[in-house]
A = this chain, B = another copy of it.
């Protein structure tokens, strides 16, 4: 891997000119949706490159002069997006090669995934011979809000039977998370999920059958992408395990990777095989590979997003001993259980630390009946200042490596400003903190979104908060073992400023 690769990959996200082969005037066609995405982004001056529709049957599309083939385009073409039936793809590839197109995205399906291996091999060979790099086939391509690249053929809105227009596949705001996905459908879901949860995306890549560009190369590129802080990787199989481990190892010293690898069970692997035609391989092998490469493996979809969010917002933990501070006994226990089940510890506080809380009780600063052995349970009488002072003591305690704050807003005396108070304390420390408030109505949504405004990831259940903390601990452990903990934290803090 080299600088050359980074430059090659960068063309997918930052082309000076782009041809849409299969651009169409027919609104239901993928070639229409994709071309229109670019037209709009060009009009808004987000996409700044040249744009060429290619379609032999049209003169003009949406006001743009249309070309019968890539060859006939007057200027240079950096990137070609192909959305025409599979059987015509090789011909277009040859024309692209003549035109010295640099990179190609084949959206079209109907290759290896349905048994057409020969056709897929053919296009790979044409590309290789010409030195062109290919993403796909059978993929959603690339989305980059920064440069206006939007190859998603999934319509942003749909019309319901009631006549209402609703958001169907939203494009998320710019942010720190890169999405790299083998499944286009899951990728679209991820965009929908992240948008709704107010999480931003730096880059989105759906690589489909990966006849050429694979996940390892994309990871290497994202390592060098300044906008990406955390990489979320969805895969069903990894074809070149050794290369993947080697590259991922390099990446994870600088940026966390969270992986969701499906096909964990035999039946799941069988389903994966019939989906992509690939052999999933033993799940234990993947566990071992991810562990070696410092990749955090999420067990399910929610963990995947939750852990990505934690790593984007908080520094890693220096150790695995967690303190829980709560105003709700039951949910406190639930958080402790989930920490311990995931291999973290929630140890009884040292006498010294307990002493500090006892002093607070004597001073009337926390309730006399608060428990303080870990969890610290401020009880239903908790007020904002109590959370503030308790969290401060835990940040100062060397025995505590991470803090879970369960601020259930329902208690009568707790006001919304407890979030601001906790966040203002947290601001001065590099120890990770995650928050939870339970509920799905106004105040709960306010509390969680306000925590996140201050950079503290917030979750809707104690267990989700604990699993997010687990990711911060696991990543910290990996960084320490590879002697790059301090370096990472330093960079993390610098970028946060």
Contacts and interface: CB of A to CB of B under 8 A. Distances in A.
Nearest to A340: B265
Interface string A240-269: 000000000000000000001011111110
Interface in A340-384: 340-341, 345-348, 369, 371, 373-375, 377, 379-380
Contacts of A196: 439-441, 444
A192 B440 contact: yes
A277 to B, nearest CB: 10
Contact of A443 (B161, B166, B183, B463): B166
A186 B374 CA distance: 18
Contact of A330 (B186, B324, B410, B412): B186
Given A346-B267, A443-B168, A192 B410 contact: yes
A438 B464 CA distance: 18
Contacts of A332: 271, 275
Given A110-B369, A441-B196, A266 B340 contact: yes
Interface stretch (A129-137, A152-160, A387-395, A472-480): A152-160
Contacts of A339: 267
Contact of A185 (B274, B327, B348): B327
Copies of this polypeptide in the complex: 2
A300 B303 CA distance: 13
A64 interface: no
A369 B154 CA distance: 20
A301 B371 contact: no
A185 B461 contact: no
A262 B330 contact: yes
A447 to B, nearest CB: 10
Interface residues on A, range: 35 or more
A189 B332 CA distance: 13
Nearest to A113: B369
A33 interface: yes
A453 interface: no
Contacts of A294: none
A441 to B, nearest CB: 4
A371 B264 contact: no
A341 B193 contact: no
A408 B300 CA distance: 17
Contacts of A330: 181-183, 185-186, 234, 236, 262, 275
Nearest to A275: B329
Contacts of A375: 271
Interface string A97-115: 0000000000001100110
A401 interface: no
Given A185-B328, A189-B331, A331-B189, A33 B412 contact: yes
Contacts of A110: 369
B267 A380 contact: no
Contact of A441 (B170, B181, B412): B170
A181 to B, nearest CB: 8
Contacts of A264: 337, 341
A167 interface: yes
A415 interface: yes
25 contacts: A28-B413, A169-B410, A185-B331, A185-B380, A189-B410, A192-B410, A193-B460, A262-B337, A263-B337, A264-B337, A265-B336, A265-B340, A265-B341, A268-B333, A268-B334, A271-B333, A271-B373, A274-B373, A275-B330, A275-B332, A275-B377, A301-B334, A302-B302, A302-B461, A302-B463
Interface of A: 28, 30, 33, 109-110, 113-114, 153-155, 158, 160-161, 166-170, 181-186, 188-189, 192-193, 195-197, 234, 236, 260, 262-268, 270-272, 274-276, 300-302, 324, 327-334, 336-341, 345-348, 369, 371, 373-375, 377, 379-380, 408-413, 415-417, 438-444, 446, 460-464
Lowest 5 A-B CB distances belong to which pairs? A196-B440, A183-B330, A192-B439, A185-B328, A189-B438
Given A113-B369, A186-B328, A192-B410, 12 more contacts: A155-B412, A185-B380, A186-B331, A192-B438, A262-B333, A262-B334, A267-B336, A268-B340, A270-B373, A272-B333, A274-B371, A302-B464
